[in-house]
Amino acid sequence: MAIDPPLRHPGIRFPPPLIYVAGFTIGWLIHRQWPLPLSGWSSGNREIFALLFIAVWLVLMLGAFATFLRARTAIIPSRPAATLVTSGPYRFTRNPMYVSLAALYVGISVLFNSWWPLFLLPLVLVVVRYAVIAREERYLNDAFPTQYRAYCQRVRRWL
């Protein structure tokens, strides 16, 4: 029985934000055909809500990027990690970049005043979970077995 060689990188061959872009675009195209606006909100309240989600995206994304830069490890998931990052926003979620993209997705959906992209968000998150996060987790478990298992016990995948 052969032992598999260690993974050199997560094996993700496309930018994960494209999954969010695809989901939103499909939702927006459906909205153009069959409009389903968010109702019951004034334009001002909707904009404030949207801007709060966009601010969450900005804080989480910048925090995650800064943490990766300080650790001098790859941000792009097709490259090998130099170290396991567990500080900054990674203390609260193992995937702050993907959580932040979900927040941005919600914010933009609300700004565009459409339910359709929001209806597709759970599907987007399932695709991210299985097409991206599962590969990243497999790689990190292989690259940093003891550290990564302990980290997974302390920190949740999403929130």
pLDDT band at 132 (very low <50, low <70, confident <90, very high): very high
* Other CB atoms within 10 Å distance of the CB of residue 130: 10
Measured distance between the N- and C-terminal CA atoms of the chain, rounded to whole angstroms: 39
Longest dimension (CA), the chain: 64
Distance CA 65, CA 7 (A): 23
For range 145-149, the mean pLDDT = 97
For range 17-34, the mean pLDDT = 98
User: Which of 71, 79, 133 has the alpha carbon at shortest distance from 102?
Assistant: 133
pLDDT band at 6 (very low <50, low <70, confident <90, very high): low
Q: pTM higher than 0.75, yes or no?
A: yes
What does the chain come to in residues?
Answer: 159
The lowest-confidence range among 50-59, 77-86, 128-137 is 77-86
Q: What is the pLDDT of residue 76?
A: 86
| pLDDT tens figures, 56-108 | 999 999 999 999 999 999 888 888 889 999 999 999 999 999 999 999 999 99
Q: What is the pLDDT of residue 1?
A: 52
Distance CA 109, CA 98 (A): 16
